Amino acid sequence: MIRMVGVAKVYPMGSEISPILEDVTLHVPQGMLAAIIGPSGSGKTTLLNLIGGLDTPTQGQYFLNGQDVSHFSREQWAHERNRTIGFVFQSFQLIPALSARDNVALPLVYRGVAPKVRRAQADQALEHVGLGHRRDHRPSQLSGGQQQRVAIARALIGDPALLLADEPTGNLDQATGQEILALLQTLNRAGKTVVIVTHSAEVAHACRQVIQMQDGHLVRVAQEMERV
Amino acid sequence: MMTWRDGVRLAFHGMVSNKLRTLLTMLGVIIGVAAVIVLVAMGQGASSLVTSRIETLGTNVIFVSPAGGTPFPVSEATVIARALPFPTIVVPEMNTGATVSTLTASGGAQVVGTTPAYIHIGAVSLAAGHFLTPLEMTQDQPVAVLGANQVQTLFGGSNPVGASVMIMGQQFRVIGALNRVGQGPGASQDKDIFIPMTLAQSLLSTTQLSQITVKTPSPDQANLAADYLTNLYTNTFGSANAVTIASEDQVLQTLQATRATFTHLLAGTAAIALIVGGIGIMNIMLVSVTERTREIGIRQALGATREDILLQFLLESMAMSLSGGSVGAILGVGLVHLVPVLWKTPAVFSPNALILAFVFSTAVGLGFGLYPAIKASGLDPIQALRYEG
């Protein structure tokens, strides 16, 4: 699903050039449940942003689903994200002025899907995460766990092959976090490739592939079999 | 790629999500568009009134008046009539401001000493009674014909024929009343009181005329007459500038030039109003883009292209200016109907002004919405998602 070879990301900081990510070579197979771990500033969010095309690599090659996306333009990435990637963020990133249903339907707006069809699919996705009864509520009227479920429904609605989650349990209490993790695990079992950036040992432990980052370097990739 | 329908839906959603702010922002465009429609209607009303007056007078009339200290005695009328090789109506006038009164009322008036032929120029028409007659003229009878304003001031609008008025200490019998002329180029005859010229000479103790009006059978002859008279006065006084010779044709041309200036002035005023409105829209859109930075980041992450974001904000600013334009148009058309009632000024509604107003408000929305929209579409998704508003 994800293959990176010698990927680096460098940000110009004034006259200095500081590398954020150096020489990352990585393979996440289709259907994998992967965690990216590491201390703050180790480059794990940058890596996730690169995977999701919110950022582009300065160097190296990146293949997504077998397609070379190393030099994709902003427009190409917008289309690619819309079709093959679902995002889940630590701070949920729902639009406050929209109802749960309209938030969930958002990716379909950018696919040019008709409003009626969008609404039906959004209701279905909300049903799927157990929030069918809350579809007309605004994000502010929902609990943190419910908001994250709405965000997951939104990530799912376009039926993407890849789910990218940046600290999805970071803003939630332990019990709610476990529910969200369980939901992601269920989705993974249903065939989605899931990549989670996390601080939580518990979340990392639940994953079958653990990618460990430190100082912008990929220091270790542990597969399930090694850990056993 | 978002569909157009969704774009428009989104634009209106953005507009109504902050109603008061949207309304205040739209106010600039509302006032601008209403101003365009009302000002143009008033301009058109004024010029159509003037044009219709000139048309009733005809373009076969020329005016001769002394410039500066040129002597212009009563005998000049005979000189002019003789100088022209075709039949003309030559009407001398001497004017002065005076106080007039009846037993119950008094006021200021323009006293005009003239001849019975004055009525044949076509500038005024009788509402009651008759105009000065040759007999009254030769007998130096103290008779007067009142303009519409004088009828109103001195007699409260009732028929004055047969009543008496005091003009400069002398009593006059009213023999006629004129229809209202209204405002137009030059002075209106509504304030005037017409008396026989022979009597005016002794009353004003002068033999100097203030104007001679010449009416020829055709407009071409009027131009010819103007040329003849120019020659005549060049020979008499050594300069054509000693008298002013103006034909209605020239007056009409001057009027059209004035109207063009007036139209440009209106267009300028309207443009300023709309530009100010546009700046208001730009200001609010920039605030809106900043406030919604995170939303923009979210939309980008979910697959909105640069074009989608650009369209969203551009359509929102256009929705705002077009809604403002529509409200302004309704307000403007309403005011056009109200102006003649409130100020007794004619106003002619022009569909062109409506079209102009809409074109302008669309252009304003597009023009002033473009920069904020470009700013929004150029945001970096990662930074936008991290924005703490």
Least confident of A207-221, B79-93, B127-141: B79-93
Note the pLDDT of residue A64: 95
**CA distance, residue B18 to nearest chain A CA (Å):** 11
Q: Are residues B128 and B175 in the same domain?
A: yes
Residue B309 has pLDDT above 90, yes or no: yes
Q: For chain A, how big is the Rg over CA atoms in Å?
A: 18
3-state secondary structure of B77: helix
CB contact under 8 Å between B2 and A109, yes or no, is yes
Block residue for tokens 């470009």? B374
| Nearest alpha carbon to residue A33 among A222, A213, A209 | A209
Q: Are residues B124 and B238 in the same domain?
A: yes
Q: Are residues B13 and B96 in the same domain?
A: no
Average pLDDT over residues B250-278: 78
Average pLDDT over residues B144-150: 92
**B264 reaches A (C-beta below 8 A):** no
Query: pLDDT digits over A147-173, tens only?
Result: 999 999 999 998 999 999 999 998 899
Residue A225 has pLDDT above 60, yes or no: no
Searching chain A, which residue's CA lies closest to the CA of residue B307?
Answer: A75
Of the ranges A59-73, B77-91, B117-131, the best mean pLDDT one: A59-73
- Residue with the bigger pLDDT between B249 and A223: it is A223
**CA distance, residue A95 to nearest chain B CA (Å):** 6
**CA distance, residue B335 to nearest chain A CA (Å):** 38
Residue B311 has pLDDT above 80, yes or no: yes
What are the chain A neighbours of B308 within 8 Å (beta carbons)?
78, 110
Q: Are residues B106 and B205 in the same domain?
A: yes
Q: Are residues B164 and B73 in the same domain?
A: yes
What are the chain A neighbours of B13 within 8 Å (beta carbons)?
97
So what's the ipTM on this one? Answer: 0.94
- B225 pLDDT band, cuts 50/70/90, is confident
Note the pLDDT of residue A16: 67
Q: Are residues B76 and B220 in the same domain?
A: yes
**B304 reaches A (C-beta below 8 A):** yes
Note the pLDDT of residue B187: 60
**B128 reaches A (C-beta below 8 A):** no
CB pairs under 8 A between A and B: 63
Note the pLDDT of residue B256: 75
Pairwise CA distance, residues B349 & B335, whole Å:
10
- B51 pLDDT band, cuts 50/70/90, is confident
Q: Are residues B262 and B213 in the same domain?
A: no
Q: Are residues B226 and B193 in the same domain?
A: yes
Pairwise CA distance, residues B258 & A30, whole Å:
80
- B-contacting residues in A 127-186 (Cβ below 8 Å): 154, 158
**B389 reaches A (C-beta below 8 A):** no
Note the pLDDT of residue B240: 67
- End-to-end CA distance of chain B: give it in Å, rounded: 27
| Nearest alpha carbon to residue A71 among A44, A53, A89, A84 | A53
Residue B370 has pLDDT above 90, yes or no: yes
**A123 reaches B (C-beta below 8 A):** no
E strand or H helix at B174: strand B170-178
**B306 reaches A (C-beta below 8 A):** yes
Note the pLDDT of residue B176: 94
CB contact under 8 Å between B303 and A87, yes or no, is no
Residue A221 has pLDDT above 60, yes or no: yes
Note the pLDDT of residue A188: 95
**B381 reaches A (C-beta below 8 A):** yes
What are the Cα distances from residue B78, in Å, to A49, B17, B73, B88?
101, 80, 10, 11
Q: Are residues B67 and B34 in the same domain?
A: no
Q: Are residues B78 and B147 in the same domain?
A: yes
Q: Are residues B44 and B69 in the same domain?
A: no
What are the chain B neighbours of A11 within 8 Å (beta carbons)?
none
Query: pLDDT digits over B178-213, tens only?
Result: 998 876 555 678 889 999 998 998 888 888 888 898
Q: Are residues B219 and B235 in the same domain?
A: yes
Q: Please enumerate in sequence order all residues whose Cβ is within 8 A of that of A26, keeping only pairs 6 or more positions apart, or say none.
A: A2, A3, A4, A7, A211, A218, A221
CB contact under 8 Å between B298 and A109, yes or no, is no
Average pLDDT over residues A52-80: 94
We find that the CATH architecture of domain A32-54+75-227 is 3-Layer(aba) Sandwich (3.40)
**A109 reaches B (C-beta below 8 A):** yes
The CA angle B21-B26-B30, to the nearest 5 degrees, is 150
**B294 reaches A (C-beta below 8 A):** yes
Pairwise CA distance, residues A112 & B309, whole Å:
14
Residue where one domain finishes, among candidates B247, B262, B289? B247
- A228 pLDDT band, cuts 50/70/90, is very low
Pairwise CA distance, residues B258 & B319, whole Å:
37
Searching chain B, which residue's CA lies closest to the CA of residue A52?
Answer: B301
- B163 pLDDT band, cuts 50/70/90, is very high
Tokens for A27? 């393979």
Note the pLDDT of residue A15: 66
E strand or H helix at B343: helix B306-343
- Number of folded domains in chain B? 2
Least confident of A75-84, B37-46, B120-129: B37-46
Q: Pick from A91, A109, A156 the residue to mutate for testing the B interface (most B CBs within 10 Å).
A: A109
Computed over every residue of chain B, the mean pLDDT equals 86
Residue where one domain finishes, among candidates B194, B214, B247? B247
Note the pLDDT of residue A223: 82
Residue where one domain finishes, among candidates B196, B223, B247? B247
The CA angle B298-B296-A51, to the nearest 5 degrees, is 45
Region of B341 (left: φ > 0; alpha: ψ -120 to 50; beta: rest) is alpha
**Domain boundaries, position B215:** 61-247
Q: Please enumerate in sequence order all residues whose Cβ is within 8 A of that of A197, keeping only pairs 6 or more positions apart, or say none.
A: A35, A36, A37, A44, A45, A47, A48, A165, A166, A167
Contact indicator for A23, A61 with CB cutoff of 8 Å: no
CB contact under 8 Å between B302 and A110, yes or no, is yes
**B385 reaches A (C-beta below 8 A):** yes
**CA distance, residue B1 to nearest chain A CA (Å):** 5
Q: In sequence order, what are the beta bridge partners of A28?
A: A2
Region of B328 (left: φ > 0; alpha: ψ -120 to 50; beta: rest) is alpha
Closest partner residue to B302 among A49, A82, A97, by Cβ? A82
Block residue for tokens 């419910």? A146
- Residue with the bigger pLDDT between A227 and A128: it is A128
- B379 pLDDT band, cuts 50/70/90, is very high
CB crowding B72-100: b at 16 or more within 10 Å, else e: bebebbeebeebbeeebbbbbbbbeebeb
Average pLDDT over residues B95-102: 90
Closest partner residue to A74 among B2, B298, B306, by Cβ? B306
CB half-sphere exposure, A191, CA atoms < 13 A: 4
Average pLDDT over residues B313-320: 92
**CA distance, residue A202 to nearest chain B CA (Å):** 26
